[in-house]
Amino acid sequence: MNKIKFTLTESRKTKSGEYPIYMRFNHGDTELVYPTGEKCKLAEWDKDKEKFRRSMAGYQQANEYLQLLRERLTNTYRDLRNDGLPITNDTLRAGLNASKSPVAVEDVATRYEQYRLQCKNEGYKESTIKSMGSTTARLLRWQRSKGKVYITHYTNAEHKSFLKFLDAEGLHPNTIGCVCKHLATFFNALRLNGHKLHPQQAKISSQKIDTERIWLNELELEKLERAELPDHLSRTRDAFLFQCWTGLRYSDLRRITNANIQPRGGYDVLTFIPEKSVSRKVGRTKSVEVPILPKAARVLGNYTEEYRLLPVLSNQKMNDNLKEIAKLAGISQPTETLIKQNGHMVVKAVPKWSLLSSHIARHTYATLSIVKGIPLEVVSKALGHSRLQTTMVYAKIADEWKNRLILDAWK
């Protein structure tokens, strides 16, 4: 199959100074030219990468839509070829437009929940479906506060109203960004399936604020180990420490069993497929193997098969317990973080225990491994990262830690 391209047509400039984007596909001696409905200014289009630049409002939504069109054309072409049908511009356009449905008068919250259930039936990850459920709940609360908002009327003004509502709920900007990402994907799917949206349909962008990654040093881990705790908190501590010594995400910790432990001549390893790497598209999974350190092995020895591998609570309950545990253990170093004050994000120093969550265990494993001199490539593989660049953030944290140690030693 020939390459599908997206191009900006400079000869068709609109009155607003924007240019239309077309999808082009050569088949045989013929070229299909299909209007995507997207448009942008010259400076907002990356000709080489055939995608919208970050400088354009709603660039993520627009780029996702182009990818959806690409997939739809690819599937249409393959279906025609496999069925022995003629591949012409007309048959390709018919396939692209086949699932277009009539205008639906549905409110955003109701239609989004239908979309979420559809995603669930299509095999989306459980964590994704749960996160989408939170977006449904927020849409419902918003509509209860102002009345129903229909999918055909979701303009920039309505989107700003929703963002203001989310902000009033006290959500972190990154949480709001996640909600916006859900909505952008949702409206892209509606548009691709032929739903007629408002001419001034909201341009939805999802921005993420880079926050400092919190991790525990070895002294703080020792404080956690030595802390006197009641049984229910001890079990949470053990699960967290096991994460600190293996780098497991919570989503993997809660589902691994003894069957994931394999002997390797003198030591054992955990072998598993990370839930985060599992895609709906077959063939995109990867396996991770992590050696079980002596301290992690001792934690496992405290539990029987009735807990699977370890006793794991819900993520929210585990995070609540971890804050209580860290407070009892005296992990109270002032740590800067972003908090919301009077409607604005400000940097404030808070006790470290108040920031503890299960995912900090993964930060701890990665950072301490690099501090101990383990090559970045090895750490990246143990974490199951697909790109070394993802692991580089921990190298930066480790370098800063080493720098502080050197400066303190030479005072």
Same domain, 174 and 230: no
* CATH code: domain of residue 343: 1.10.443.10
Question: Do 114 and 188 touch, CB atoms closer than 8 A?
Answer: no
pLDDT computed for residue 344 by the predictor: 66
Q: Residue 103 falls within a domain, yes or no?
A: no
**E strand or H helix at 401:** helix 388-409
pLDDT in tens, 249-289: 998 998 888 889 999 888 999 999 888 766 554 445 678 99
Same domain, 376 and 235: yes
- Total domains, the chain: 3
Q: Residue 211 falls within a domain, yes or no?
A: no
Q: Residue 202 falls within a domain, yes or no?
A: no
Containing structural domain, residue 239 = 218-409
The burial class, CB within 10 Å (0-12 / 13-18 / 19+), for 283 is exposed
Where among 192, 210, 229 does a domain terminate? 192
Same domain, 241 and 389: yes
Same domain, 42 and 65: yes
Question: Do 218 and 367 touch, CB atoms closer than 8 A?
Answer: no
Same domain, 402 and 332: yes
Same domain, 384 and 260: yes
Question: Do 53 and 46 touch, CB atoms closer than 8 A?
Answer: yes
Q: Residue 210 falls within a domain, yes or no?
A: no
Same domain, 162 and 224: no
Low-confidence residues of the chain: pLDDT under 50:
99-104, 281-283
Same domain, 342 and 402: yes
> What does the DSSP assignment read for 42-101?
GGGEETTTTEE-TTSTTHHHHHHHHHHHHHHHHHHHHHHHHTT----HHHHHHHHHTT--
* CATH code: domain of residue 125: 1.10.150
Q: Cα separation of 358 and 43, whole Å?
A: 43
Q: Which residues contact 216 (CB under 8 A, 6 or more apart)?
A: 224, 244, 331, 360, 364
Same domain, 261 and 399: yes
Where among 97, 118, 137 does a domain terminate? 97
Same domain, 286 and 319: yes
Same domain, 179 and 320: no
Closest CA to 382 of 296, 307, 282, 314: 296
Where among 73, 97, 121 does a domain terminate? 97
Closest CA to 59 of 96, 21, 33: 21
pLDDT computed for residue 371 by the predictor: 86
pLDDT in tens, 35-78: 988 889 999 999 999 999 988 877 877 888 888 888 889 888 88
Q: Which two tokens stand for residue 42?
A: 């010259």
Model's pTM, two decimal places? 0.62
Q: Which long-range contacts (CB under 8 A, 24 or more apart) does 348-352 make?
A: 351/327, 352/214, 352/220, 352/326
Q: Which two tokens stand for residue 362?
A: 């993964």
Same domain, 315 and 235: yes
Q: What backbone torsions phi and psi does residue 201 show, to the nearest 5 degrees?
A: -50, 140
